[in-house]
Amino acid sequence: MARPTLAPGQTYEDFPFDQLSLYAGIDVLMTGQLREKLLPALKRPIRYQVSDEETLTLPSLYEQDLCQVKSRALEFLTDLEYAGIGFDLDRYEALKGMVAERLDDYKHQLGHLNFSLSSGPQLQDYVYNVRKFPVTTLTQNNQPSTDYDTLEAYEDDELLLIARHNELQSLYNTFLNSYHLNVKRDGRIHPNYNLHGTSSHRITGNNPNLTQLPRDRGDISVRSCFTAPPGYTFVAADQSSAEVKILGAVCRDKTLLEHIRAGRDFHSATASLMLGMSYEEFLDGMENGDPDTRKKRKEFRQAAKSITFAILYGSSENTVAKKLGKDLSEVSALFRLYFENYPGIKKYIEDSHYAAKHNRFVITKLGQMRRELGLLSIFEDNGRGHPVHQQHPGTFGLLGTFPQDEIAGRPCGVHSV
């Protein structure tokens, strides 16, 4: 039986109950049959090689991932979907009208341009061939960038207007044009959260995707359309430098842990190390130095930050060079300097790569497995640069190969900071 198809604005309440119950029954039947087939394999302990001399026996996927993580997460996500979130349609319609008027105003001011503002190639031709601006940043496809930050940096009124138009048009198309169709009869949005949405075990969302709401831009706030019941309010919490602290917890680099425990701004601390000066001296120059000194310190901090996140999320030296607008040789030298100051990070990545290469999968601290069947040829190609640059998207899949807390000092060890 085919799955009932929902038209925009419909819910499963619009289908006859008998059809839904039959579909749900078949769903349960097939899931049960899959369970009987897969359960024995899921309950087998995992053999995990961490060195040429040692192979560990780890808990099964059933025992650790399914029972301890996935089942609890599923219950939580089901509650989120069922409860939904309030949505102010009046506020939404007013915001939609305001954005539409602003877009019309931008189009009027830019009416002298005889090309489509939404066309990347045409805008690229106008900026770099007609207006003759220098290329400062490149896209992942090695093309001159025309994104908001790039156009804004040229400090040109017309380009800034184009950047604002394109950003606002994208927001309108994605979040305002048809978002109201997601509001159900109870006046709430009941989105889908996908527990198995990615191979890296990251949760995704759709109908709509509430995991990627746009940031507020002045008086334009899509988030303001979401409402809490009377007597309640939204509370936002964020872990400062969470990725860096997780990296410190798993790699145990002494210098990195020292920065974390001292509460330093990690990117400034990293930049000061790479420049061979004290943390205090670097901050003083960035805040109180002459304009040239402040600019150079901020640029070096940005370089240190870009390298850190390239390591965490698997970007290459080429990508960092394009982002920073620097020569590849210069960025390669910065990477080498970075690892000289953080040898523990380098060792941990290399150990993790060893485990990924020899097992063809990685295991996270929570016992989640990610298969890496294509890694062998990548790791055997020593001519492609430092091992960190051969990481798959989402480096924490490799940084996170630490299934048992009590295994200290290995790529499977994790400790509290």
Report pLDDT for 10: 67
pLDDT tens readout for residues 97-152: 999 999 999 999 999 998 999 898 999 999 999 999 998 887 877 788 899 989 99
What CATH number does the domain located at 242-399 have?
1.10.150.20
Q: Please report, to the nearest 10 degrees, the dihedral formed by the alpha carbons of residues 401, 407, 413, 417 taken in order.
A: 150
- On the question of pLDDT at 410 being above 50, the answer is no
Would you state the pLDDT for residue 390? 30
Contact by Cβ (8 Å): 355, 387: no
DSSP per position, 294-333: HHHHHHHHHHHHHHHHHHHHT--HHHHHHHHT--HHHHHH
Instruction: Give me the pLDDT at residue 340, please.
Output: 94
Q: Could you give the C-alpha distances from 291 to 158, 286, 294, 298, 373, in angstroms and in order?
A: 27, 9, 5, 11, 51
Is residue 311 within 8 A of residue 395, CB to CB? The reply is: yes
For 73, half-sphere exposure in the C-beta direction (CA atoms, 13 angstrom radius) is 17
The CATH class of 87-227 is mainly alpha
Beta bridge partners of 361: 371
Of 3-17, 235-249, 276-290, 312-326, minimum mean pLDDT range: 3-17
* pLDDT score for 146: 92
Domain boundaries, the chain: 87-227, 242-399
pLDDT at 168 over 80: yes
* Separation of alpha carbons 132 and 363, rounded Å: 50
Contact 188, 140 (CB under 8 A): no
Q: Cα separation of 119 and 116, whole Å?
A: 5
**Is 172's pLDDT higher than 80?**
yes
Mean of per-residue pLDDT scores for the chain: 83
Predicted confidence at residue 8, as pLDDT, reads: 63
DSSP structural state of residue 23:
H
Compute the average pLDDT of residues 21-42. Answer: 92
Whether pLDDT at 403 is above 70: no
Res 16: pLDDT: 82
Tell me what pLDDT residue 3 has.
64
Q: What is the pLDDT of residue 371?
A: 79
Return the percentage of the chain with pLDDT > 70, whole number: 86
* SS3 at position 183: strand
pLDDT at 201 over 80: yes
CA 393 to chain centre: 10
State the Cα–Cα distance between residues 208 and 76, nearest whole angstrom: 18
Distance (Å, whole) CA 103 – CA 323? 29
pTM, to two decimals: 0.74
Residue 116 carries which DSSP code? -
Q: Is 402 exposed, middle or buried (0-12, 13-18, 19+ CB in 10 A)?
A: buried
The band of 385, judged by pLDDT with boundaries at 50, 70 and 90, is very low
pLDDT at position 405 is: 36
Q: What's the first-to-final CA gap in the chain, in angstroms?
A: 53
Amino acid 395: pLDDT: 36
Largest CA distance in the chain: 75
CA distances from 382 to 97, 312, 387 (A): 56, 21, 8
Which pLDDT score, from 0 to 100, does residue 24 have? 87
Model pLDDT, residue 381: 38
Instruction: Please give the pLDDT value at position 166.
Output: 94
Matching residue, tokens 């949405």: 197
pLDDT interval class at 9 (50, 70, 90): low
Position 2 scores a pLDDT of 62
Cβ neighbours for 229, distance < 8 A, ≥ 6 positions apart = 86
Tell me the pLDDT band of 14, cut-offs 50, 70 and 90.
confident
Q: What pLDDT digit, counting tens, does each position of 263-282 carry?
A: 999 999 999 999 999 999 99
What is the per-residue pLDDT for 93?
96
pLDDT tens for each residue of 316-374 = 888 888 778 788 898 899 999 999 999 999 998 888 888 888 888 888 777 888 876 66
Two structure tokens written together for 399: 């940084």
pLDDT category of residue 1 using cuts at 50, 70 and 90 = low
Reduce the DSSP state of residue 135 to 3 states and report it.
Answer: coil
